[in-house]
Structure 1
């Protein structure tokens, strides 16, 4: 753990981004007393067999069950299919129909055992593709990244930190002295991006998400907000396109107080960590402790995850059982509000119109399961309230007219319906027979 030297006893606890937490590893032959040559031979043979078993490849079939083509479709091979491999192995390689493809192990609960191996691939209508997974590292480029840049060696002069240098951190425990716009954290909090779009989260009492529209697929957020640029002004790479105000931004978490979905406000403490950083998925975790709920307090934990080739950020969150937890979209004047037709397991709330900072058309969307949340509109935010705040899942996305080929309301609606169909019919993964 490295500490940033700050004046007035201010100490920011952080972990450099290259640090990896140690994990407890069980011995392969725990408790076996090797007192006899035959026992030694048996143990050696078991160890050799175990190594061979741990190196066995996993052969699967991934199927697009829909009669439409899909680009950069997420393939998630759950742990239940990763038989005869060591689930502590975080490095994997993949091939799709024999062609190498980037792959990534996912450990969302942090217990040291992977929950899935993920990759993306294109599919023709109703196509089945052979997936081969093997433990092992491979050099590959990433189409996603998560960023948490913190100013080290700075002095707080007046209301802002100055004179330091921004450095990447893997984790940050936000000091109590941190205030909005004090320049301690680049972009005011953690950020994540794909080759399609970028997002950031305000790491303070606002705790909601903002949009970085991108005009090129290059990963750029690691160099944004370092005090040498104005990301509210349009640049060659793009810009901060959304004005959040007091609303929930794009897919931001909040609480319902009275008749309004509000930002969480001041809390006892906040921390953030980069939990995954490509090549397929980038993820950030944010913990808010002491969120005010009625006359009491609750803790809120959320993980934000983006996939290569996608605009969607997936959110998994949990809070106390009685927390009136909500997620929503800022509602700017003059926008067109969209809701999906009923009938499926998933639905969306969305808006389209000249709501970008530079008055470009911008689309915002929130996807949720109809049996887990109910939609509402308080005039400031379009939002959904979750029935089980201890187990929240949803997704959000933003589309800027300068980030691709979606330039009008009709195209945006078609993109929403396409995404909804993919949520209803994810790529099916099964053992190869």
Structure 2
């Protein structure tokens, strides 16, 4: 007997296969809920799912709900390279994210939760934001040219800055509200960021340390600060609601008589009490280590160290903020790249005559710093994460235990990213 197949059923199957929306599956490999998780999709990954069209951008949905996203052109050629998604995902959950294309003018608006700022002082006393700028050369007299003295990056939880001059020390602002403050610091809106405001304040004394994640190179057990270089340049890559990225570029870095170059790419995401740093050194020797660290000048308790998931961690937690309350700082580095962990002397080298910036009482010789090294491979980026929390922001941050638990949780998430299927 001849088998038959209803034509209507066949038509419906063919129609469904032709109209089915392309999907990217996102899976949480951990048995814990995750909020504000960022997933980065390359143009190639998306093109494998849907035929891209000029003038249209990919948008992602979970059911009827649009997933917050951001389209980024990272190389500045006018074409987007990556899409960043921001998701909340339950323990062991799998999300089917459908893809559709929308005109650029119809791209969904997303709440701004990250921000960058380099404002350069103008003759009329205001500050003009720039996307690219070079600091005053080290051969010229010291001069503060930047709003808040440097480059500021922030999310809705915390803000960081790095001095845009030969000191090149990282500093931080604690926040009491989920607001963006970088544009207003050092203006009539926030004239004094060293006193407690309703949004927060500058909470860290840095001195001649590495502050909150400054960079150095270790060669033959000597630490050489990444500072006082011939060229120190800021380059904004992306500033968006879900991700902001910038580069700090250096050349003429004198390391033991050799001139090295370096690039630090810093990325910040929403909802996290950390930023991501990728440091690339050009010209480093075989046994050199990239070093980052934490100021210890106000520390009364011993610093801590532990391992969590795929990372080694060093940190401090104490009543050590400029508001005389709890402040925690930490660095995590991949275990398989971890180098020397140690603590510098507390010698005031400025008072001993090593006066790099007399106006600021600053010496280029690093002191009062707890540090961790990382393997330095020539021209290859080394990634680390710098954490900071402030007791006035959240009850959990008032204890070292609460801070360490958060670091361990984040290390586990970074070790087990959301899977893209």
TM-score normalised per structure 2 = 0.79
| C-alpha displacement of 1:194 | 0.6
Match of 1:398 in 2: 388
Q: Of the candidates 251, 256, 259, which is equivalent to residue 294 of structure 1?
A: 256
Moved more, 235-244 or 116-125: 116-125
Equivalences for residues 4-403 of structure 1 within 5 A:
58-83=22-47, 84-86=50-52, 92-110=58-76, 114-135=80-101, 136=104, 137-152=107-122, 154=123, 163-176=124-137, 182-226=143-187, 229-256=191-218, 259-322=221-284, 324=288, 325-332=290-297, 333-341=299-307, 344-379=309-344, 380-389=368-377, 390=379, 391-403=381-393
Distance 2:55 2:401 in 1: 45
Distance 2:312 2:76 in 1: 30
For the structure 1 residues 207 and 142, does the alpha-carbon distance in structure 2 shift closer, same or farther, using more than 3 Å as the test? Answer: same
**3-state DSSP of counterpart to 1:187:** helix
**3-state DSSP of counterpart to 1:340:** strand
Q: Is the 8 A contact 1:208 1:263 kept in 2?
A: no
- Segments of 5+ residues of structure 1 without an aligned counterpart are 1-55, 155-162
**3-state DSSP of counterpart to 2:88:** strand
| C-alpha displacement of 1:246 | 1.3
Question: How many equivalent residue pairs?
Answer: 364
| C-alpha displacement of 1:78 | 3.3
| C-alpha displacement of 1:327 | 1.5
> Could you give the per-residue CA deviations for residues 247-278 of structure 1, whole angstroms, max 9, x where no partner exists?
11122211225645342231111110222111
| C-alpha displacement of 1:347 | 2.1
Match of 1:425 in 2: 416
For the structure 1 residues 167 and 373, does the alpha-carbon distance in structure 2 shift closer, same or farther, using more than 3 Å as the test? Answer: same
Q: Is the 8 A contact 2:261 2:283 kept in 1?
A: no
- Segments of 5+ residues of structure 2 without an aligned counterpart are 1-19, 345-367
> Could you give the per-residue CA deviations for residues 184-221 of structure 1, whole angstroms, max 9, x where no partner exists?
21011111111111111111222232111000001111
Moved more, 250-259 or 193-202: 250-259
Distance 1:404 1:87 in 2: 46
For the structure 1 residues 300 and 90, does the alpha-carbon distance in structure 2 shift closer, same or farther, using more than 3 Å as the test? Answer: farther
Distance 1:232 1:300 in 2: 31
Structure 1 runs of 4+ aligned residues shifted over 6 Å read 87-90
Distance 2:56 2:172 in 1: 30
Q: Is the 8 A contact 2:118 2:151 kept in 1?
A: yes
For the structure 1 residues 102 and 206, does the alpha-carbon distance in structure 2 shift closer, same or farther, using more than 3 Å as the test? Answer: same
For the structure 1 residues 405 and 72, does the alpha-carbon distance in structure 2 shift closer, same or farther, using more than 3 Å as the test? Answer: farther
TM-score normalised per structure 1 = 0.77
Distance 2:93 2:253 in 1: 47
Q: Is the 8 A contact 1:330 1:381 kept in 2?
A: yes
* CA root-mean-square deviation: 2.5
For the structure 1 residues 364 and 95, does the alpha-carbon distance in structure 2 shift closer, same or farther, using more than 3 Å as the test? Answer: same
| C-alpha displacement of 1:287 | 0.7
For the structure 1 residues 374 and 279, does the alpha-carbon distance in structure 2 shift closer, same or farther, using more than 3 Å as the test? Answer: same
Distance 1:222 1:393 in 2: 28
**3-state DSSP of counterpart to 1:329:** strand
Q: Is the 8 A contact 1:269 1:289 kept in 2?
A: yes
| C-alpha displacement of 1:108 | 4.3
**3-state DSSP of counterpart to 1:222:** coil
